[in-house]
Amino acid sequence: MQVGVDIIAVKRIEAAIEKHGERFLARFMHTQEKERAQKIETIAGVWAAKEAAAKALGCGIGKALGFHDIVIDKRANGQPMLLFAEEVTKRFSIRSSSLSISHDAGMVVAVALIDFAS
């Protein structure tokens, strides 16, 4: 089992959207994530969650894992959850995962916990 944490200032995401617009969002968000994101804190939460998951996988975002290999979704009760592309689940032997996202005072933090098959 591995844990990954990421924190980001909401202003940093706002600045990137102002500078690059839709191109920036398309770089790291799936269409369904963009459709659900009504607030800037939610967009920042998606960024932080994907970064935290990549850290828990031990590789970061790069050659072995891209932003689009991870989808941030919600359970029926509103709890955020990580969904991985099938090939990523197989490559990293992911058995289960858990995600928590919180925001306050212009900051967003995400914690991802990933359990691996033996």
Number of domains in the chain: 1
More confident residue, 69 or 118: 69
Q: Minimal CA–CA distance to 54: which of 28, 17, 77, 36?
A: 28
DSSP SS3 for 36:
helix
Global confidence as pTM: 0.95
Q: Which domain holds residue 39?
A: 2-116
pLDDT tens digits, residue range 44-90?
Answer: 999 999 999 999 999 999 999 999 999 999 999 999 999 999 999 99
Instruction: Report the 10 Å Cβ neighbour count for 82.
Output: 22
Confidence of residue 118 (pLDDT cuts 50, 70, 90): confident
The CATH number of the domain where 81 resides is what?
3.90.470.20
